[in-house]
Each structure stands twice: as C-alpha cells, then as structure tokens.
Amino acid sequence: MTAPLKNSGPITVEVALGDRSYDILIGRDILSSLGERVAALRPGARVAIVTDEYVATYWLRKTDASLKGAGIATSHIVVDEGEASKSYEGIEFVCEELIKAKIERNDLVVALGGGVVGDLAGFAAAIVRRGIDFVQVPTSLLAQVDSSVGGKTGINSPQGKNLVGAFHQPILVVADTAVLDTLSPRQFRAGYAEVAKYGVLGDEAFFTWLEANHADVVKGGAAREHAVATSCRAKAAIVARDERETGERALLNLGHTFGHALETATGFSDRLYHGEGVSIGMVLAAELSAQLGMLTDADVSRIQRHLAAVGLPTRLQDIAGFKQEGLPDADGLMTLMAQDKKVKRGRFTFILLQAVGQAVVSSDVDPLAVRNFLARKLAQ
C-alpha cells in the first residue's frame, strides 16, 4: 500500500458535534493562514497566544504575524517547556495572565504547542470567566493526532496524570505538518505511538500501511499528512459518537492505563515521554490480552516489532534509568493504576485486544492476575 498523492490544499476533517462542530485543517505550511481563519470565525476578537519557551523560539513570531496581519490584537503567555507546567502552579499562572491581559469571554485563546500547552491553555480557557473559546495550533505529532482533538483539557495531580480538568472543545484546529520538522527524533517517535494506536485499536489496514510507510511519515510530505489525517478522522468519528467518554471513547485509551501509571512513577520527567509510556502500555495491553486468551502471540509480536522498528520503547526495562532508579514494584504500580480515570467503584477498566485492529473495553479483569503479570514483566 502506498501513500496518496500530495494534496493541493489542506485536508479538512470535521468533528461533528452539532452546534459545537469544528474543523481540523491539516497540511504543510498552513500556519500563515491562521489569522484570516480566526478573523472569519470571530470578527473583532483579541487573542492570547499560550505557548512554551521551546515552541516560541520557532513559531511564535510567525503565528503572531499571521494574526496581526489579519488585524487581530495579540498578547503572549509563555510557560516552561515540559510536563511540569501541567500543574496547579501552571494553571494559576496562565489564568492570571489571561485576566491580566483583559481577555474577555468574546475573545480567544490560541494554544500554540504540544500536548502540554494544549491541555493547559484549553483548561484555562474553560475556566477563566467561566469559558472562553480557544483554537488549537498543535506543534507536536502527538498533539496533532490526539490531544488537540476532542476537547479533553487539564492538568496533572501529584497523584496521577490528567486528574484535574474539563471537557472544552476548540472552535478550530490548525495542524501544520511542517512544524513537525523542528521536533527532535525522540519527540517525533513519541508522537508516532499515538498514530500507531489508531491502527492497533480499530484499523488493521492502516496499521499495515504504517508498517510499510513509517519511514516516509518521519520524512514528511504526503505520507505524514495521510497519517495525521487518518488518525484525526478516527478520533473525530469516535468523539462525535461519545464526546464525554461514557462508552466507546474509552477505546482511545489503549495503552494509557499502564502508560499513565508509568509516567507518574517516573515523576512526569524526561525519563519517559507520554508517547513512550503509551508504546510500552500498548505492548503490555497486548501481552495481557494474550495471557487472557484473547490475542494471538503472533499479533503481540507484530505490534511489538513495529513499535520497536520505529525506535519506541516496548518493555519496562527500556525506560531511561530503569537499572539505576527502578520503578515501583507490582503493588506500587497497581496503586498508581487505581487512580486511572476509567476506574469505577474501585474496578479497573482495561482496553484489551482481540486482534490487531480490534480493541475492546473490559471491566472484569482479575486485579490479582494483573498484579502477577506486572511482577513478571518487572523481573524480566
């Protein structure tokens, strides 16, 4: 299977949510069109751009110029790079800066950055003045295919990932695939885990395409745009059917129950990026599914082999500093997993696999079996 020919214009994916529907625009070098698009959506609105120090170096000037070129007044809020900004201190800072900039309910927040900035800026927009519209301009692969779409915003608690937040849909997502050229190889690979996730959970044909074309996705061009658009279509369809994760949307958390616990265990640090945790989590979910008799060993190997071929970690032992700093034992990881948002009345909910491209929600997995499974994985 080969990538489609390069599109002459941006690809548009609609997130169909009635009167709150919005478009995801995907294409190379489309950031310069942001100002005219925002002006058309919200004439007369002022904009506060929320970004981080790293992204600001590359893309703040161009974003600001596009908005000002359309006659839009702007202000800038710059946070520290990294997961540490998704904190109580981080949300207080952004909220106070929005109030100081006199951003009103009929103005806009633009989240210019990766998943951290999108979650943080979106949450601030949800709560300042009881709700301000916002636009996502995702600058990481992970944000373009996952966190910028669907309206999940929030911060981390010391007790777990994304435990404080709100559903707040953007009014527009502008995903310029050219900005991904400035990512480090590790950052790009981490985002790729979320791309692979869409194939593993519900689209075996897409996973097969990724096996053949992942190198071209890394290089950029039509293959990258196709991968981003396919991922966004998959997420948009699920979000349209289950906006607030009361059922099917939980499938998008494949790999995340394990992954979030690992992120918490490593202190939301550079030891483990979010996408790396998802990669390991997907393999753990596949291996647990095989242990339960749901998935063949061949499918487990296929998933692990592809993620490893891209350069992603697939075992607990692949986490940076595993030998020196270690991880909590199986009981400790189970305690962290108990904080997962999908836990209901103390019962774990896992996203498991019946085949590549066929994920299911399971709430009847024996916790002791999971605990023993983790103990074996830690000892390998």
Closest CA to 142 of 183, 194, 177: 194
pLDDT bracket for residue 221 (50, 70, 90):
confident
Active site residue 76: no
Q: Are residues 195 and 266 in the same domain?
A: yes
| Catalytic site residue from 81, 97, 194, 225 | 194
Per-residue confidence (pLDDT) for residue 346, from 0 to 100: 64
| Catalytic site residue from 28, 86, 260, 271 | 260
The tens digit of pLDDT for each residue in 87-101 reads 999 999 999 999 999
Give every CB contact of residue 212 below 8 A, 6+ residues apart in sequence: 1, 2
The three-class DSSP label of residue 329 is: coil
The tens digit of pLDDT for each residue in 46-70 reads 999 999 999 999 999 999 999 999 9
| Catalytic site residue from 81, 243, 245, 276 | 245
| Catalytic site residue from 161, 235, 271, 341 | 235
Pairing of strands 108-113, 47-52: parallel
Give the Cβ contact number of residue 365 at 10 Å: 17
Per-residue confidence (pLDDT) for residue 1, from 0 to 100: 41
Q: Are residues 210 and 98 in the same domain?
A: no
Mean pLDDT for the stretch of residues 230-239: 97
Residue with tokens 């997962």: 340
| Percent of the chain whose predicted confidence (pLDDT) is above 90 | 91
Closest CA to 356 of 303, 306, 309, 281: 303
Q: Are residues 132 and 190 in the same domain?
A: no
Per-residue confidence (pLDDT) for residue 341, from 0 to 100: 62
Q: Is residue 5 part of a domain?
A: no
Give the Cβ contact number of residue 70 at 10 Å: 16
Question: What distance separates the 2 farthest-apart alpha carbons in the chain?
Answer: 61
Cα separation, 24 vs 219, whole angstroms: 22
Per-residue confidence (pLDDT) for residue 308, from 0 to 100: 98
Active site residue 86: no
Domain housing 65: 11-182
Mean pLDDT for the stretch of residues 226-240: 97
Mean pLDDT for the stretch of residues 280-308: 98
Cα separation, 254 vs 351, whole angstroms: 5
Active site residue 274: yes
Closest CA to 35 of 174, 165, 144: 174
Q: Which helix (H) or strand (E) holds 105?
A: none
| Catalytic site residue from 130, 323, 344, 345 | 130
Active site residue 248: no
Q: Are residues 359 and 267 in the same domain?
A: yes
Active site residue 130: yes
End-to-end CA distance of the chain: 37
- Looking at the DSSP bridge assignments, the partners of residue 359 are 353
| Catalytic site residue from 28, 152, 168, 224 | 152
Range of lowest pLDDT (37-46, 116-125, 200-209, 334-343) = 334-343
Cα separation, 257 vs 134, whole angstroms: 28
8 A C-beta contact, residue 179 and residue 279:
no
Active site residue 245: yes
Show the tokens assigned to 191. Answer: 């985002």
Per-residue confidence (pLDDT) for residue 6, from 0 to 100: 55
Cα separation, 285 vs 353, whole angstroms: 7
The tens digit of pLDDT for each residue in 166-183 reads 999 999 999 999 999 999
Mean pLDDT for all residues in the chain: 95
How many distinct structural domains can be found in the chain?
2
Per-residue confidence (pLDDT) for residue 347, from 0 to 100: 77
pLDDT bracket for residue 284 (50, 70, 90):
very high
Cα separation, 197 vs 221, whole angstroms: 21
The tens digit of pLDDT for each residue in 137-165 reads 999 999 999 999 999 999 999 988 899 99
Cα separation, 245 vs 170, whole angstroms: 17
Q: Are residues 361 and 213 in the same domain?
A: yes
Active site residue 306: no
Active site residue 194: yes
Look at 338 and 273; give whichever has higher pLDDT: 273
Q: Where are the alpha helices (DSSP H) in 31-83?
A: 34-41, 53-55, 61-69
Q: Are residues 22 and 117 in the same domain?
A: yes
Mean pLDDT for the stretch of residues 221-225: 91
User: Any idea what the CATH number is for the domain that residue 38 is in?
Assistant: 3.40.50.1970
Per-residue confidence (pLDDT) for residue 2, from 0 to 100: 45
| Catalytic site residue from 42, 189, 249, 306 | 249
| Catalytic site residue from 86, 233, 274, 306 | 274
| Catalytic site residue from 256, 271, 306, 341 | 256
Q: Which of 150, 182, 214 is the last residue of a domain?
A: 182
The vertex-143 CA angle with 129 and 177, nearest 5°, equals: 120
| Catalytic site residue from 226, 253, 263, 341 | 253
